[in-house]
A and B are shown apart, each in its own frame.
Chain A
Amino acid sequence: MAAYLVKRILSLIPVLFVVTVVIFMIMHLTPGDPAASILGLEASQEEIDALNEKLGLDRPILEQYINWVGGLLRGDLGDSIFMRQSVGQAIAEHIGPTLSLAILAQLIAVILAIPFGMLAAYKRGKLLDISLMGLSLVGMAVPSFLLGLLLMLLIGVELRWLPIAGYKPLSSGLWEHLKFLILPGLSLGTIQAALITRMTRAAMLETMSHNYIKTARSKGLNEIRVITGHVFRNSLMPVLTVLGQSFGTLVTGAVVVESIFNIPGLGQLIINSIERRDYAVIQGVVLIITIIYVGINLVVDLLYGAVDPRVRLGRR
């Protein structure tokens, strides 16, 4: 297990290296002088030069990259020009709502998807299965921000059950916190559920074709026990992988959905920073979300290895 752990973590180094290069390069794709575009049209040449020097933009590009990565390794993401605070601080202030939303959405997705997936597999070929699969097919074609708009239209504007925009932190009470997150959480979670339902069903059907399920049935276990105890347990692996991968999609989806519901999360931070041309913040947000995403997938992989010795010892 230790060898697998080390191998898996080492394999992340080239990925993270490329990620930093890409994120660094993106912000240098900007046409023209970044300092000039930050300061706007009225800035004098001296002001532009001064800012360039302050940001280190007058140095050779390799040196800039090394300085940036050096800062990252010390936990320093740079400074926001516009907000006059460090990028790390800005992200820390905005990450709460995004994570809260992503976790709630994942919870909704799991609560919907796993029973539905199991049910569809259990009733495969029947009307229930066909309608669930049809529904999930449509669900996969709906972008989460569109569902967000539709939910806002129906529940927020027409029925007025829930507030359509805003956010309260967890410290002001659980219900106050959740009230603002239910609609965005539903819009992200339901779409996610569509994919996970399919995966659960496929994994369950895969497992059901094995002989040990036949054994379980023939020793007289009732069908419910077979499904929940034997089939589901052995189908957990692929479902777990999808959950890990989908968390990345959820966080990015959250970035878009936040802007609909006016939630002050990372999405709002990055969109505002684009308008302000605050490139250090954009780099920081993309990097942090990518690291969270890569980290979750690592954890899923390790869990996979811990549970299934074939993965750990295999040729991977």
Chain B
Amino acid sequence: MTVQQRADLATIRKQMLGEQRKLRLLQIKSNYGLMIGAGIFLLLLLIALIGPLFAPYDPAEMKVVDRLKAPSSEHWFGTDEFGRDLLTRIIYGARVSIGVGLLVSLLSSLLGLVIGLYASYYRALDHILMRICDGLYAIPGVLLAIALMAALGASVTNVVIALTIVSTPSVARIVRSAALSVRNLTYIEAMVVQGASSTRIIWRHIMPGTLSPLLVQASFVFAEAIISEAALSFLGVGIPAPDPSWGNILQAGKLVISKAWWMIVCPGALIVLSVLSLNLLGDGLRDYMDPRISGKGRKS
């Protein structure tokens, strides 16, 4: 092969890669669910991150005269039972609620990844780890979280711990099954024959194959964690007052339900919006990464 031919080949390869990238971009763009989900979610993330800078009031500032005021130009979302501005509290609450969701999905992805990968690689470990996961999985999620919170005590850290314990088994299972299908491929066998260390095979060669299902599951775990945090805080075993979270604003709202609809509707809308965007994101990612299982592929 001459130098010229090699250079030509390189250009062709580059062109093909460029085409591929364009095609992928096109796929993402035509996936409306993914785009809408990602858009709304980024907006909510932004609100949680820099929203407090723009919040009109202090989240803890109480004004007795302004108790339970309906939404107005002064207080867009109205005020709560202590006269605190609800919009401000919802913005600060986004930090807690979205922060908890993010931490839970990160931590359980990490734990689930390690557990799933090692379970798929070592038979003996597989039996032990998967039985533990089965057991944890058999206890309905919110109930397990309630019991854990009862033992640990209500605090933000404990909510994250409890929900991570609840969601890790589902991640571990998904990583394990993805890892198992990679593990049976010939190139892993080739790596073993070449004498690569198990650590290298697991992390360099099997792990990348599990990332896309992991990412999809992480977005569902995120959504589920937001719902669970809200449920726990609503029951009074989650984020303790006076720190605002969407769940404990709802808890306070329940007590004044006949007087202040905005205390239910406003935080509720934020919960629905964030869960909806994460579900759209997860579904969209799944369709994008594996077009075979999408609804579009099956229509004939």
Contacts of B227 in A (CB 8 A): 143
Is A306's CB within 8 Å of the partner chain B? no
Is A123's CB within 8 Å of the partner chain B? no
Given known A19-B138, A293-B138, contact A271–B236 (CB-CB < 8 A): yes
Chain B 261-300 interface mask (CB, 8 Å, partner A; 1/0): 1001100100111011001100000000000000100111
Is A50's CB within 8 Å of the partner chain B? no
Chain B 43-72 interface mask (CB, 8 Å, partner A; 1/0): 000000000000000000000000000000
Question: Are B138 and A255 in contact (CB-based, < 8 A)?
Answer: no
Is A211's CB within 8 Å of the partner chain B? no
Q: Provide the bound-state CA to CA distance between A24 and B294, in Å.
A: 42
Interface centre among B131, B141, B280 (most CB of A within 10 A): B131
Say how far B54's CB is from chain A's closest CB, in angstroms: 26
Q: Provide the bound-state CA to CA distance between A295 and B222, in Å.
A: 29
Contacts of B171 in A (CB 8 A): none
Question: Are B131 and A23 in contact (CB-based, < 8 A)?
Answer: no
Question: Are B271 and A17 in contact (CB-based, < 8 A)?
Answer: no
Question: Which of A27, A251, A271, A290 lies in contact with B138, CB distance below 8 A?
Answer: A290
Question: Chain A: which residue is nearest B152 at the CB level?
Answer: A29
Interface centre among B138, B150, B261, B298 (most CB of A within 10 A): B150
Is B7's CB within 8 Å of the partner chain A? no
Question: Chain B: which residue is nearest A28 at the CB level?
Answer: B151
Interface pick from B78-86, B184-192, B202-210, B251-259: B251-259
Is A77's CB within 8 Å of the partner chain B? no
Q: Is the interface of A mostly helix, strand, loop or mixed?
A: helix
Contacts of B264 in A (CB 8 A): 146, 149-150, 153
How many of chain B's residues have a CB under 8 angstroms from any CB in A? Answer: 48
Question: Chain B: which residue is nearest A14 at the CB level?
Answer: B131
Question: Which of B134, B139, B299, B300 lies in contact with A286, CB distance below 8 A?
Answer: B139
Say how far B161's CB is from chain A's closest CB, in angstroms: 10
Given known A137-B279, A141-B223, contact A29–B148 (CB-CB < 8 A): yes
Contacts of B131 in A (CB 8 A): 14-15, 18
Is A7's CB within 8 Å of the partner chain B? no
Is B28's CB within 8 Å of the partner chain A? no
Q: Provide the bound-state CA to CA distance between A309 and B299, in Å.
A: 29
Question: Are A286 and B144 in contact (CB-based, < 8 A)?
Answer: yes
Question: Are B146 and A255 in contact (CB-based, < 8 A)?
Answer: yes
Q: Provide the bound-state CA to CA distance between A63 and B230, in Å.
A: 38
Question: Chain A: which residue is nearest B149 at the CB level?
Answer: A274
A selection of 6 A-B contacts at a CB cut-off of 8 Å is A142-B272, A146-B230, A146-B271, A252-B140, A252-B143, A259-B235
A22-B136, A153-B265, A271-B236 given; name 10 further pairs at CB < 8 Å: A14-B134, A30-B151, A137-B279, A145-B234, A146-B264, A149-B254, A150-B265, A153-B261, A274-B149, A279-B151
